[in-house]
Structure 1
Amino acid sequence: MKARLLACAALLCALRPAWTADLRFEFAGKDAVPCHARYSDATGHGFVDSTVALPPRPVHTAGIRTGGAGCEITESAVDPNAGTDHYNNHGMAFRIKAPPGAYAVQVRTTSDAADTIVSISGMQTSRLLAPVFWDAASLLPNRTRMQAQGREWEYRYVNGRGVIDIEIEPKRAGTPVGIAAITLTPLAPQPRAAGELPTLFTLGDSTVKSYTFDEAPMSGWGQVFDRLFDPARVRVLNYSMGGRSFRNAYAEGRLNDLLLAGRIGDVVMIQFGHNDESTDETKRYGRGATEAMYAEMIRAVYVPAIRARGMVPVFVTPMSRVNGAQPAGEPYTNSFTKRRFPELMKQLGAELGVPVVDLNARSVEYYNAAGREAVTAMVMSIEAGETPGKTNDGSYANGHPANKIDGTHFKEALAKQYARLVATELARLAAQGDKVAAGIIAQLKPAVRNALAANDWSPLQPEIAADIVRGDGAYYRNQIEKLLQLGVLRKDVDGNFRPMSR
């Protein structure tokens, strides 16, 4: 017990902010920061020509002038694309050297909020001001919203980089905007209260998301992953949502709110890569990323921010997309052939000491073992009349509204298999001595640990009949599994459903 207390004390000391007093900058008065000050590592603060955002956003320094209340700038024109994900009204950005960690950021502007946009290190202010939920069921509200009233702006921000940019941008041409004061107050990581359960967070895209009933039969592996865990040992919270990538999950504040909700020792399992393939990487708030951008988001933003909060990152490589028109007899191969994000994530895991669950490799192995008929049945191949559910493309009532077999998204039958593969990978890592993976495995239900040890999941998944796993009998696998799970139908004494005889 004494050793454990000493270890905990050492951890808290290691996580203590490098400086604990407020860091304050005034831009008017006796000790004001000069409006011509440019950032340097030596001074640790100053105005910059481009922000730390990805891609970097050009801002202006030449037009900054000293006003009565602080440093101001007036732009002669604003971007006609304002209101989209790709605009730039320029303005100014003041950079402050600040080690990774959480900060209460207070900004006082020289201009009213009606005329001004204040952003922090490339985040999307319009998303931070609005009341939003991180999940489809509206159970996880954003509890870290930006506050703006008059000329006062406040936000609690978890920094992963060694600097923080305070960006001041005009909403209208010809209207001066500016900065009067900035205060950064370090916020210490939060230890878990006595008796409080640890939390395992999952963070990803639509393939990890928890769906609502009206979106059925689409499912994500994060939707079923919590069923594997002992609720007396851990809470499992899914912060995943469709359309998300490393870039926009950061920009909208999803990562930030998760980190401020977490406690020291909590685990964050991250899977991004599908939307990162989007070719909008030049857009200010786009989803896509080059391989270099993907690596920088991991190395410079996510991992240091997670660790600064005393939390533990785990990478999950994104599963391969399924080719909906897979030719008969041809093996499935990894879909990530242009931007090799899964391989990059594995390389970064080794570099940064982050455990990597290789769902990408395991998914391709599973597709080839299950076969074309079963895999096609478990992805979003929808018949007319199969479901009244909906997607972003419209209703499924007459089949898939895009008239295709959607091999990126999938039904619960495949979501359960992905969850099984993730758990199996964690068990493999634990057996190799990975302490983080071993800690997660210890939080599983005893029956799940038994299934992993025996390599036999049939006691956990009795709804999977032996003759619906592959071949023609798998055509209605998802529906059959659900009916067996609900007890509407039964298997025979041999464990078969015999779909071809019904």
Structure 2
Amino acid sequence: MNSIHLAGDSTVAPGPLDGTGVIGWGGVLHEFMTQPVHNRAVGGATTASFEAEGRWADTLAAIKPGDLVVTQFGHNDQKETELAAAGGYRNNLARFVEQVRAAGGRPVLVTSAERCLFDDDGDLRVSHGGYPAAVRNLGDQLDVPVIDLNAFTRWLYTWLGERGCADLFPHAVPEDGERDTTHFGLAGARAVAGYVAQHLRALQGLDDQHEPIGKWGVSP
């Protein structure tokens, strides 16, 4: 059975499964997949630091032919001048894709989940600038599947509204006690992981062989 390898920042990283703290969507992805999930994401990571700390090398070393390598960065890259969306960030991701393919794996890129920040008019703010677009463009250029979590979470938060989003982000920032609008609680991680899991199933064709339900006489 092929494995799934996760590379990313705190919004992907493991966390407590009892609801007592923040947790990335990757920390609960195993609940939705039958394949083994190996999560090397870590809080504060950029594409550069993930490589410098040896986590990317560990990921490459663990790949077996056909494994999926799902990569999501951007929250922290945007804080570093040398990791501009169309510069170091894009170049690092492109190199990651090439290395995964050379190792026999199947790369999957993921855009950053949106931060849950609403303005005074109740509209969801844009917090990642050109970073999601850089991932979409790279996926198109290199023929790599892209899971657009930025688009999905923007839809999800808008649909729930600011008050409804409190269930997805129930924890406070330790430094000032304000509500953390970046890092998920358990419910938020599961909501996003469920979407990622459905996308990964689709990419692998896991549901393609079912008989179409129309065969049983269901009207459109």
Name the residue aligned to 1:320: 114
Name the residue aligned to 1:175: none
Provide the C-alpha distance between the structure 2 equivalents of 1:213 and 1:268, rounded to a whole number of angstroms.
23
SS in 2 for 1:310: coil
User: Is the 2:171–2:185 Cα contact (8 Å) retained in structure 1?
Assistant: no
**Letter of the aligned partner of 1:405 in structure 2?**
R
Structure 1 or 2, whichever has the larger Rg, is 1
SS in 2 for 1:348: helix
Provide the C-alpha distance between the structure 1 equivalents of 2:19 and 2:197, rounded to a whole number of angstroms.
25
Name the residue aligned to 2:91: 296
User: Is the 1:273–1:341 Cα contact (8 Å) retained in structure 2?
Assistant: yes
- Tell me, which stretches of 5 or more residues in structure 2 are unaligned? 214-220
Of 289-298 and 254-263, deviating more is 289-298
Is the counterpart of residue 371 in structure 1 residue 145 in structure 2? no
SS in 1 for 2:165: helix
TM-score w.r.t. the length of structure 1 is 0.39
**Letter of the aligned partner of 1:334 in structure 2?**
V
SS in 2 for 1:423: helix
User: Is the 2:13–2:24 Cα contact (8 Å) retained in structure 1?
Assistant: yes
SS in 2 for 1:218: coil
Is the counterpart of residue 356 in structure 1 residue 146 in structure 2? yes
Provide the C-alpha distance between the structure 1 equivalents of 2:158 and 2:189, rounded to a whole number of angstroms.
17
Name the residue aligned to 2:216: none
SS in 1 for 2:181: strand
Number of positions where the alignment pairs a residue of Structure 1 with one of Structure 2: 209
Name the residue aligned to 1:201: 5
Name the residue aligned to 2:38: 237
Distance 1:330 1:379, change over 3 A: same
Is the counterpart of residue 311 in structure 1 residue 115 in structure 2? no
Provide the C-alpha distance between the structure 2 equivalents of 1:425 and 1:214, rounded to a whole number of angstroms.
26
Name the residue aligned to 1:217: 21
Shift of 1:424: 3.8
User: Is the 1:315–1:354 Cα contact (8 Å) retained in structure 2?
Assistant: yes
Provide the C-alpha distance between the structure 2 equivalents of 1:290 and 1:314, rounded to a whole number of angstroms.
18
Provide the C-alpha distance between the structure 2 equivalents of 1:369 and 1:361, rounded to a whole number of angstroms.
12
Provide the C-alpha distance between the structure 2 equivalents of 1:256 and 1:354, rounded to a whole number of angstroms.
20
Provide the C-alpha distance between the structure 2 equivalents of 1:274 and 1:380, rounded to a whole number of angstroms.
20
Distance 1:371 1:240, change over 3 A: same
User: Is the 1:247–1:289 Cα contact (8 Å) retained in structure 2?
Assistant: no
SS in 1 for 2:182: strand
Name the residue aligned to 2:191: 417
Distance 1:329 1:356, change over 3 A: same
SS in 1 for 2:114: coil
Name the residue aligned to 1:265: 66
Provide the C-alpha distance between the structure 1 equivalents of 2:171 and 2:37, rounded to a whole number of angstroms.
30
Alignment of 1:373-392 (within 5 A): 373-382=163-172
Provide the C-alpha distance between the structure 2 equivalents of 1:219 and 1:206, rounded to a whole number of angstroms.
7
Q: More helix by proportion, 1 or 2?
A: 2
Shift of 1:216: 2.6
Is the counterpart of residue 343 in structure 1 residue 136 in structure 2? no
SS in 1 for 2:112: coil
Provide the C-alpha distance between the structure 2 equivalents of 1:214 and 1:422, rounded to a whole number of angstroms.
21
Shift of 1:358: 0.5
Provide the C-alpha distance between the structure 2 equivalents of 1:415 and 1:213, rounded to a whole number of angstroms.
10
Q: Which has the higher contact order (CA 8 A, sep 6+)?
A: 2
Is the counterpart of residue 249 in structure 1 residue 50 in structure 2? yes
User: Is the 2:13–2:39 Cα contact (8 Å) retained in structure 1?
Assistant: yes
SS in 2 for 1:219: coil
Identity %: 33
Distance 1:277 1:227, change over 3 A: same
Shift of 1:355: 0.3
Provide the C-alpha distance between the structure 1 equivalents of 2:155 and 2:85, rounded to a whole number of angstroms.
27
- Tell me, which stretches of 5 or more residues in structure 1 are unaligned? 1-196, 282-287, 383-392, 394-399, 431-436, 443-448, 454-502
SS in 2 for 1:202: strand
